[in-house]
Structure 1
């Protein structure tokens, strides 16, 4: 740590790996990690945060849009430990409080968990926004979605990745991601599972037709599906599943048991099997004469 009151440059890969995250993703990730987060740097001028993780634990490259693992040797500015505010680089979480593990951070940044209530915003204030997982699926929009958005949404429900949708529709991956972002903005749905739930609950798309039968699911499995779809609150989960890691592990297990390719596909399958009737009641009502 610098002792002369000035920011010093340190190379990634020696004492730490560095994961650079855009400001819009940083606060939800920090809230999901919990109170034992390791060192986190913030820079409000560039609107980027940097999570410092143990060295050699995060291979360089892009995890998802807006998240990049800095390459070995890249210089990171390290401010004095007392620098905990301001517009330029400072500590959002000072060293010494805990450790951020790269595998958990990756799952949070690329996984289904939305922001939590009371999460610190990038301006240092506290957000009182209701967490997306505590909101019900978005209500029906009076204006129908465009054919392009509906086609992308249909493939999303079928479990296609961005690249697969791009190939299927002969569109660039950037265009596909733009359409997915538009769907998310319409329904305030920040992840795949909530986008799928909103498309189904609003009657914009029907659940996909599948030949496989639903596996035998326990009540705790249904509770996880309901939270993943934004129908129930996190507080309705069993205590042992409320930490981020166990919840994500349970979702991974459900995807495998249900032969679901993605979180969105898992929600769509659950709706097809009648496990999430809230998501299909409005669509069924629309079909009534």
Structure 2
């Protein structure tokens, strides 16, 4: 992708850059070393990919967090947020790089594997900040459609990107701050019924039925940033972090110890975790964890060194 990048041939005829894993496992790579990365909410990424055409460079997709990451040549992407739902990952932020054969599934995989072309950052920014065309039919990689690639048969990939209204953004911001429905209504001078309608709209937009998943969708999609925090992150054990990931919907129950998998026990554990983190609600707990860098897939702010 850059002058520094070397390629090698892997089985299947792909020409892959040197930073690709060859042991069949996903590895962490830091942005700003071999490539720049632009994180895009799935509903913006799908039509953008169609507009870029067949010579698109590497693109990662994560169906669980509904985010895509376009890898572009090193130093080519102007930093910061380009538009709502689009953010250039900061230098040193760690992202998962799956093996070349990972072209489907709910977790991180290749929507477009390396070796097919190069995405020019200027073209990507022009497309993402301008009017987006409708999403094209599913692109097939290695004979299989990517799980996050737009497809008319999928109900979770609409033709138009989801953009939150100012009212939904404000309700979402207060949700992340741990406000109750009544507190949000009072602060916005709205009725509780109106606030609950807005929360239900956010849930419907992102297929997020509960507070925690709404918080995940708002953060992972780049719609809102985590709230400012006044305290340092408490010392959390690996099981605590596993509970946070499952609560946020970015990991499955299988990651939990057996004794925590039944719903009641899990929810009791979440209650205790909320208290230890001084979180008012489940959504606030997710937002705090993101602000502390404990859920890096929601913010992209944790460096590769911090991941090890």
Alignment TM-score, normalising by the size of structure 2: 0.47
- The structure with more helix, counted as a fraction of residues: 1
Alignment TM-score, normalising by the size of structure 1: 0.50
Larger Rg: 1
